[in-house]
Structure 1
Amino acid sequence: MDYSLQREHRMTRVSFCSFYFLMFFAIGSLFPLLPVYLKDSVGLSGSQIGIIMSISPVVMILVQPLWGVLSDITQKPTVLLTVALTLAGLFGIIFSLLDGYFWLIVIALLLAVVQSALIPLSDSISMNYVHKTKTEYGSIRLWGAVGFAVAVMAVGQLSEHYSLHVIFYSFALVLFLAIFFAAQLPNESRTMQISIRDGIKELANVPRYFLFLFIAFLVLGPILANNIYFGIFVADLGGGLTGIGIAFLLAAGSEAPFMKFASSWIRRLGMMNILVMATCISCLRWFLYFFEPPLGVVYATTIAQGFSVGLFIPAALQYVRELAPVSVGATAISLYSSVGNGLGNWFCTFFGGLILEGYSILHVYLFFGTMSLIALVILCVMKLNQKRAVPV
């Protein structure tokens, strides 16, 4: 490889890493503190907060495929990405100017539509680049976790010194900065045709796959919805905005090391054992929070997020790939993502808001723990049946 080509690859890699850092910095600066803003600054009830925060996962299920189709038609994912970044930043600023419940729902909906394009489009561009250059996707995507972790700490402190409106200004400013690096990304797209109808027909012959979809719904729903309610939980324990930042920094920062070693752990301990362990740790964490532990204990147990997210997600993705026939692998992964990341997230966010209004934030975590416990029981039964099925 000549020097000019090496330099081009190096600059492209810098653009990818910088873009992921900034994009997830923006996400981390807004969404962990948005429920606190809606509760303390706007004065919304728990159910109202739940409805607003559940808009994004619902929109993700419905709108994400449309962005993919638009990218396939135009073959200009980078252009679409810069448009989505610009609109998301503008909607973030407008969000800060509104306080009526109806208008907050409208702006949350508009923001969700354009935000739902950011991660799929950028991941599509980066996966195409990784495939062509034989680069490790994890080494690029890792900067997103770093950006999120830094954002919740830095913006939390800024919000405490000034006001919670800082979260919107930080979100918009950083997205506008990300546009520069997005424009440097390769403007390439690889079309993937997926027949959902034919895929589901073939997957119907694999009942364990649909059972695992239910498990993903029960496990990933609380994990993702925790990003909405964790800030309220820490604030109620007396952590303040800086404390919320510290908690999210520890939790998000713990994911990367576990993801780095996930493959070797899966090979050593077995995929089903990893799924059971990760679900068990997640379940124990939610039940612990129900008993209102001291803030120091909450900080110490945030490492459980690294274990549950960093191990469950890679193991679950591998399990789905092994369960599904090769011909419908893309469909299987697409459905898994929609059920776990979309439907499960919406369900726990929406009903978590209702529970928050009717009871308390502690009961929200009792709800999360109960869902994870059901998943743990099902996984243990599957593991026992798997052992019985193995001939002696």
Structure 2
Amino acid sequence: MVAARLRGLNFAYFSLFALFLSFLPVYASHIGISGTHIGLVLGTGSVVTIVCQPFWGMVSDRRRTIKRVLLGLLLASVVAGTLLFRADALWSLALLVIAMNMFFMPTDALMESLNYQTSQRQGISFGSIRMFGAMGYSATSLTAGWLMQAWGMDSLSWIFLGFGAATLLLALGAADVPASSKPAVFRQLWRFVSERRTLAFLLLVLVVAIPHKMNDMYIGLYMDELGGNVRWTGMAWFVMTLTETAMFAVSSRIVKPGREGFVMAVAAGLYMLRFLLCSFVGDPLQLVGLQVFQGFTFVLFYVSSMQYLYSVVPEQWKSTGQTVLTLLFFGVSGIVGSSLGGWLFDLWGGAVLYRIMAAASAAAFVYAIFLVRSRR
């Protein structure tokens, strides 16, 4: 029953993520904001996330609860997100994006911590829970794109409100994770973060995450450049999250304990191939088709990095450790990816941007191989 409720929450929660991450750049472009300004707004929001995400993770660990902190942040997020998709000027959009990065983006780390710790306590695989989040992301990306094509971009605000209300109701019925009996001592956290192996791992995460975030933020604009529209963007996200669902379901069979570094290296190499092929497409359908790589890149890298993190982080700092991982993968990378990506897109277009992303992923692949060999 606990796992079933959490699966339902994942479906609704990641539907909200689909609306916010997938369609925000398209919505901003719709109201007349340039790619460079979109990048600056998203980058500024990521700076806010860097400050707020560790704070909420530490609040969760110190208060020994995930659910209550998550509920408060989700309530604020639903209000801010509904208003965000009614903004019609750069200043109002920027303020509400900052609010979403203050309240909504930090919930990702808490949600993933709740998923992982619940899966460990229930004796089931993390992927069997997380796959329902990918299913929600997939279904909402597809249906929202069609609905906005039929009802207009202004309907996005009401769609977000509906999914937000469902997420809050499901979160109320979710079970909290029992707190660790060990006190949360900052000295132990600092000792872990400052270790050489931890720093090497976090650097690899960052190098992989930057081109990943560029794809998240600018695939909609690249789709428009190729002659597509918001419906094609929704289709691309549907394909991405459909493959995520399948890979989350089998990830426990692929990512074995002690093999996380090798799997991360393989995923980085596949990222390189994915973005290189995307840079040579000639129409929206080809770009949509290449998104089948998502399950083999994002899921394999993310699950293996999370599994490695939970094997080495101090028990009483698991929420904060997850926060650090999420902060790099979706926060710091967002600053670089959004700001640099928007500038590159305006300067040279989508094809060149994706070739640069492929080069960054190639560097991550080489670095991952070096780490695996040196660890042996």
Asked if 1:296 corresponds to 2:285, the answer is: yes
Note closer, same or farther for the CA distance 1:326–1:27 as it changes in structure 2 (3 Å cut): closer
Q: TM-score, normalised by structure 1?
A: 0.84
Larger radius of gyration: 1
Asked if 1:118 corresponds to 2:107, the answer is: yes
Q: 1:229 aligns with which of 215, 218, 225?
A: 218
Q: Distance in 2 between matches of 1:248 and 1:160?
A: 15
Residue of structure 2 equivalent to 1:7? none
Note closer, same or farther for the CA distance 1:336–1:29 as it changes in structure 2 (3 Å cut): closer
Contact 1:289–1:365 (CA<8 Å) still a contact in 2?
A: yes
Contact 1:78–1:182 (CA<8 Å) still a contact in 2?
A: yes
Residues 28-84 of structure 1, C-alpha deviations (whole Å, 9 max, x = no match): 123211101111x21111121012223443333221233234445666654443333
- What's the secondary structure of 1:376's corresponding residue? helix
Q: Distance in 1 between matches of 2:109 and 2:371?
A: 32
Contact 1:30–1:168 (CA<8 Å) still a contact in 2?
A: no
Residue of structure 2 equivalent to 1:108? 97
- What's the secondary structure of 1:98's corresponding residue? coil
Q: Distance in 2 between matches of 1:154 and 1:49?
A: 24
- What's the secondary structure of 1:43's corresponding residue? coil
Residue of structure 2 equivalent to 1:22? 12
Greater CA drift, 295-304 or 118-127:
118-127
Residue of structure 2 equivalent to 1:244? 233
Residue of structure 2 equivalent to 1:145? 134
Residue of structure 2 equivalent to 1:90? 79
Contact 1:125–1:189 (CA<8 Å) still a contact in 2?
A: no
Note closer, same or farther for the CA distance 1:197–1:165 as it changes in structure 2 (3 Å cut): farther
Residue of structure 2 equivalent to 1:365? 354
Asked if 1:344 corresponds to 2:339, the answer is: no
The one-letter amino acid paired with 1:54 is G
Note closer, same or farther for the CA distance 1:318–1:235 as it changes in structure 2 (3 Å cut): same
Residue of structure 2 equivalent to 1:312? 301
Q: Distance in 1 between matches of 2:351 and 2:103?
A: 33
The one-letter amino acid paired with 2:26 is V
The one-letter amino acid paired with 2:24 is L
Q: Distance in 2 between matches of 1:145 and 1:87?
A: 23
Contact 2:206–2:333 (CA<8 Å) still a contact in 1?
A: yes
Runs (5+) with no aligned partner, structure 1: 1-9
Residue of structure 1 equivalent to 2:23? 33
Q: What is the CA distance between 1:305 and its match in structure 2?
A: 1.1
The one-letter amino acid paired with 1:235 is D
Q: Distance in 1 between matches of 2:8 and 2:253?
A: 28
The one-letter amino acid paired with 2:247 is F
Note closer, same or farther for the CA distance 1:113–1:251 as it changes in structure 2 (3 Å cut): same
Residues 88-107 of structure 1, C-alpha deviations (whole Å, 9 max, x = no match): 22222222332222222111
Contact 2:146–2:234 (CA<8 Å) still a contact in 1?
A: yes
Residue of structure 2 equivalent to 1:219? 208
Residues 291-329 of structure 1, C-alpha deviations (whole Å, 9 max, x = no match): 34433332222111111112122223344566x586898
The one-letter amino acid paired with 1:185 is A
What is the number of equivalent residue pairs in this alignment?
374
Greater CA drift, 108-117 or 124-133:
124-133
Q: TM-score, normalised by structure 2?
A: 0.87
